[in-house]
A and B are shown apart, each in its own frame.
Chain A
Amino acid sequence: MNAPKAHLFPSSVVRDDEPALVAAAKRGEVSAFEELVTRYERKIFRLTRNITGNMQDAEDAMQDAFLKSYEHLANFKGDSRFYTWLVRIAVNEALMKLRRRHPGEFSIDEEVAVGGEELMPRELDDWGPTPEERYQQAEMQEILSEAIDKLEPDFRVVFILRDVEELSTEETAKLLGLTITATKSRLLRARLKLRQRLNRYFREGGPN
């Protein structure tokens, strides 16, 4: 219930043959790189889509990420998972697009103070035992996308890296150039805001 995350990525995401595929791609076996792209394209698109909140930027960032990962494959030393390395590239590409589209709005290096009252949750309703069973998968995707998109970019990016991509706090802070304290305070706010948004759908009786 209160256990820390046991691993960075679920085993279904990173399969055991990934190092062999990367080695083959480095030797010039194009089919191996193709397999890596096919394996991760949906996840990378979700990541860039979630960060940018814009379909066109998401597509461009995803393309750039795969192209850069191919160009720089020789620099990948294998001291992390290939997927983790790819995520870092994709996050940077997506952040560039986000900053370009929202200049001045995205204050990733500013500290966000954690206040008292403003954090206190409102809308406390019972969700029942299995709230997610009320919606079809497509409807649920829509609800989650909408909830994420409505978060301010500063909070959205931290939440995506920590709770969707399941990066550690340290890795998230490093990627975004934030302190651990700032990363944690943004994550807390993001989690509370998302809980509140989902409350509208999941409370007994549903949305109104």
Chain B
Amino acid sequence: MNCKHVIRELSNYIDGDLDPALKQELERHLAHCEDCTMVVDQTRKTIQIFSGSEPVNLPSDVKSRLHDALHKKLPEGSL
């Protein structure tokens, strides 16, 4: 397996979707290829940073317009 193959299988490897034989082959490549190891680690980190990011607070004007719009739709006296 060369670097191109590793990159092509990168997502499947990170998501745990590779069959065991291919996974073993890929890991054999990683064991001696610093560049691919760096790409795998940094891609994993990238996903982790995005998936763990907290949503920012809703701007107060956006929030108030949302609740106004709901107020018009929902029964009287709500929200």
Per the CB 8 Å criterion, the residue count for chain B at the interface is 43
Chain B nearest CB from A1 CB (Å) reads: 8
Residues of chain A within 8 A of B32, CB atoms compared:
none
Nearest B residue (CB) for A70: B73
Are the C-beta atoms of B51 and A163 separated by less than 8 Å? yes
A20 within 8 A of B: no
Q: State which of B42, B55, B75 has its C-beta within 8 Å of the C-beta of A30.
A: B75
Are the C-beta atoms of B14 and A166 separated by less than 8 Å? no
Are the C-beta atoms of A166 and B51 separated by less than 8 Å? yes
Chain B nearest CB from A177 CB (Å) reads: 20
Nearest B residue (CB) for A132: B49
Are the C-beta atoms of A163 and B50 separated by less than 8 Å? yes
B15 within 8 A of A: yes
Of residues 107 to 156 in A, which have CB atoms within 8 Å of B's CB atoms? 114, 116-117, 119-121, 124, 126-127, 131-132, 137, 140-141, 144, 148
Main secondary structure of the interface of A (DSSP, over half): helix
Bound Cα distance A79, B57 (Å): 30
Q: Which 9 A-B pairs have the closest CB atoms?
A: A30-B78, A4-B16, A46-B55, A42-B55, A188-B11, A195-B46, A195-B43, A121-B39, A163-B47
Contacts A59-B66, A70-B74, A124-B38 supplied; 5 other A-B pairs, CB < 8 Å: A28-B75, A34-B70, A163-B50, A187-B11, A198-B49
User: Can you sample 22 A-B contacts with CB below 8 Å?
Assistant: A2-B14, A4-B16, A5-B15, A34-B70, A37-B67, A42-B58, A59-B65, A59-B66, A66-B69, A70-B73, A71-B73, A114-B8, A116-B4, A116-B8, A119-B7, A127-B42, A148-B50, A191-B11, A194-B46, A195-B43, A198-B46, A202-B42
